[in-house]
Amino acid sequence: MGTPPTKSLIIFLHGVGSRGADLLPLAKGWRQSLPTTAFAAPDGPFAFDGGGSGRQWFSVSDVTEASRPQRIAAARPALDDVLRGAIEQHGLMANLDRVALVGFSQGSIMALDAVASGRWPIGALVAYSGRLASPHPYTPAGSPRVLAVHGAADPVIPAEASIQATVALRELGLDVNSRILPGVGHTITAEGAWLGGEFLVSVFGREQETTD
């Protein structure tokens, strides 16, 4: 049995103070249904303000509702470099509809920004425990499908943030759905992982392995 060619790519964007590898367990559960999908789990470009080995996409030190959009905008070039590198590595720059972003918390904020700003007309986005906090205007490009998954008991980013993002993106004509999970905090549960995997299969199609 040969290695199947890459037909699609999922890029994980981790939360603040974490690392890309922390989201790779999701890939283990999704590979069987997506055997020709490659997975990339880059680290955020900046050292975490809180110290240690963690990384971040933008600083949350003294961040406010008013300052967050500007920090997201300032973080765009670094994120774009990360995404471009991963996509070029897998030869999919001409097929962005075969690329999906899967973010958690701050990673979801940046992934939602990548779509809402129109910079990345990808095929799909799974936003776990995120919020749409990007500066206006929102000008999405292409036809990305979006799934927002959020814990109803999230003490860090309220579930209402995903509901608001869903409404805003639907008003822009995107195919967006949200799932609010009762009793779940700021985390990705087994149910959340299953929802994300099934959604990505619905976007990319259930793939079959190829043989020599």
Contacts for 81 with CB less than 8 Å, ≥ 6 apart:
45
**Which residues have C-beta within 8 Å of that of residue 160, sequence separation ≥ 6?**
none
Q: pTM of the prediction?
A: 0.94
Q: What percent of the chain has pLDDT over 90?
A: 92
% of the chain exceeding 70 in pLDDT: 94
Cα–Cα distance measured from residue 16 to residue 62, given in angstroms and rounded to the nearest whole number: 14
Range 137-142 contact pairs with CB under 8 angstroms and sequence separation of 24 or more? 138/168, 138/169, 138/172, 140/115, 140/116, 140/169, 140/172, 140/173, 140/174, 142/96, 142/97
For 97-137, write each residue's pLDDT tens digit: 999 999 999 999 999 999 999 999 999 999 999 999 999 99
| Residue-averaged pLDDT of the chain | 94
Distance CA(17)–CA(45), nearest Å, equals 11
Phi, psi (5° rounding) for residue 64? -130, 170
Domain definitions of the chain by residue range: 8-204
Average pLDDT over residues 42-51: 95
Q: Torsion angle, CA of 176/189/160/42, rounded to 10 degrees?
A: -70
pLDDT in tens, 132-165: 999 999 999 999 999 999 999 999 999 999 999 9
Contacts of 144 (CB under 8 A, 6+ apart): 115, 121, 122, 123, 124, 125, 174
Residue 116: C-alpha distances to residues 11, 167, 172, 187 (Å):
17, 13, 9, 24
Between CA 165 and CA 4 the distance in angstroms is: 36
Q: CATH assignment of 8-204, given 1.10.10.10, 3.40.50.1820, 3.10.530.10, 1.10.4160.10?
A: 3.40.50.1820
| 29: Cβ contacts below 8 Å, ≥ 6 apart | 193, 194, 197
Q: Has residue 207 got a pLDDT over 60? A: no
Span 63-96, pLDDT tens digits: 999 999 999 999 999 999 999 999 999 999 999 9
